A and B are shown apart, each in its own frame.
Chain A
Amino acid sequence: MSKKMHIKLNVNGKDEEFLAEPRELLIYTLRERLNITGPHIGCETSHCGACTVTIDGKSVKSCTMFAAQADGAEITTIEGIGNPDDLHPLQTAFKEHHGLQCGYCTPGMITRATKLLEENPTPTEEEIRFGMAGNICRCTGYQNIIKSIQAAAAEMNAAKEAAE
């Protein structure tokens, strides 16, 4: 038997504290322990990006990180980005520009895209492809995902300008 670890996380603004085996992967902490089921399990090998979350401001694939490694971290999942009554501009853009079909990759896609647009608020198509390289979609062929991210970028930049 291994020693259980005492782990503290802040997920979407809420403090969480629990005991977990060291082998508990963060994606299972989120989905099964905390019932935060937006991040999906796709490949479980760090390739597909369906489990992407933001940890202390950085995009990370939560299937390839132990909860113990995230101890003390602030985590944002798709649930912390928007909700049906108050969609994030990326969520609206994905809806309007058909940036999804089955939707399985979408939570990871949008969570990653929030960081991409923070890092680069006016990305070119090539920069979007490079910045989203860790998120795989098997439906759309990516064209509409790129359109969605560009539309959201324009919307967010216009809103920022209007506020200034």
Chain B
Amino acid sequence: MYNFDFEKPESVADAIAALQGEEAQALGGGQTLIPTLKQRLASPSTLVSLKGIAEMQGVCMGDDGSVCIGGATNHATVAAEAGAYPALADTAAHIGDPAVRNRGTIGGSLANNDPSACYPAAALGSGATIVTNARQIAADDYFQGMFTTALDEGEIITEVRFPVPEKANYQKFVQPASRFALVGVYVAKYADGVRVAITGASNDGVFRWAEAEAALSANFSASALDGLSLSGDDMISDLHGTGEYRAHLCAVMTKRAVAAA
């Protein structure tokens, strides 16, 4: 890997200042970025580690009852401490493996927006708010296609706020080699309607399944989904599964999530 300088700021303000430098890049848990650096697919001149920033760590309850997670909080901490939103804690508890959960962070996962990652489904399925050093971004505006987000250069995720639903569940069909989702479906029932977010399937990254949301908002039961299906035409097709197979899994996993919620 190419060499770089390493900064470990202790405040968001210092991190933003360090990220102003040309070709500076944020480092969360490094579970995606370090392999990328090894392959020389990225060559930042400075890495700015966010892990030493106390104000970006931990889980707390917001005044409006939402669960707020610091942008540099690792998955194991969310699994252990986000009990106020059990489906979210459970999602975090099933990301990767124990060592990955001890390092990988929610901010890194959402910034990366891998098309098969779990947190994007949780954030979109919960209508979460992504808070950065500069602004607040609704999940509906944040995800803009695989590996693409609304974040500007040098902007960092400092917190993610999840409104807590009446019921929710995440069903992940694990791709056992990568441990990511082959298809993952996040279903959350709020007073004003149901949200369904799907990861691992679309070539455009995480998306909401509007038809399923309408059916489930009228009748929150797996049978309400009978007859609903998605087209596999624009879905990821690789050696692990065709687009058609993934489309089928979307419907199956949505039903399972509703039944388990």
Q: Give A residues with C-beta under 8 Å from B.
A: 1-3, 5, 21-23, 25, 44-47, 49, 52, 58-61, 64-66, 68-69, 71, 112, 115-116, 131, 133-135
Contact = CB atoms under 8 A, between A and B. Distances in A.
B47 interface: yes
Interface residues of B, number: 28
Nearest to B176: A133
Given A46-B35, A66-B30, A133-B179, A22 B100 contact: no
Name which of A2, A46, A49, A135 has the most chain B CB atoms within 10 A of its CB.
A46
Given A66-B34, A69-B49, A52 B4 contact: no
B99 interface: yes
B51 interface: yes
Contacts of A52: 99
B123 to A, nearest CB: 23
B30 A21 contact: no
B5 interface: yes
B38 A44 contact: yes
A127 B27 CA distance: 31
A50 B179 CA distance: 17
B34, B37, B51, B98 interface centre (most CB from chain A within 10 Å): B98
A46 B31 contact: yes
B30 A59 contact: no
A59 B99 CA distance: 5
A60 B99 contact: yes
Contacts of A66: 6, 30, 34
21 contacts: A2-B5, A22-B5, A46-B34, A46-B35, A46-B100, A49-B97, A59-B99, A60-B99, A60-B102, A60-B103, A64-B30, A64-B35, A65-B34, A65-B103, A66-B34, A68-B8, A112-B99, A115-B98, A131-B98, A133-B97, A134-B99
* 5 residue pairs, one from A and one from B, having the closest CB atoms: A134-B97, A22-B6, A133-B97, A58-B102, A2-B3
Contacts of A65: 30, 34, 103
Contacts of B2: 23
A115 B97 CA distance: 13
B1 interface: yes
Interface of B: 1-6, 8, 27, 30-31, 34-35, 37-38, 47, 49, 51, 76, 96-100, 102-103, 177-179
Contacts of A134: 96-100
Given A45-B35, A66-B34, 6 more contacts: A46-B35, A52-B99, A68-B49, A69-B30, A116-B98, A134-B99
Contacts of A46: 31, 34-35, 99-100
Contacts of A25: 34
B54 to A, nearest CB: 15
Given A1-B3, A23-B2, A133-B179, A49 B49 contact: no
A3 to B, nearest CB: 5
Nearest to A51: B99
A88 to B, nearest CB: 19
B102 A5 contact: no
Contacts of A3: 5-6
Contacts of B8: 68, 71
A115 B100 CA distance: 14
A21 to B, nearest CB: 6
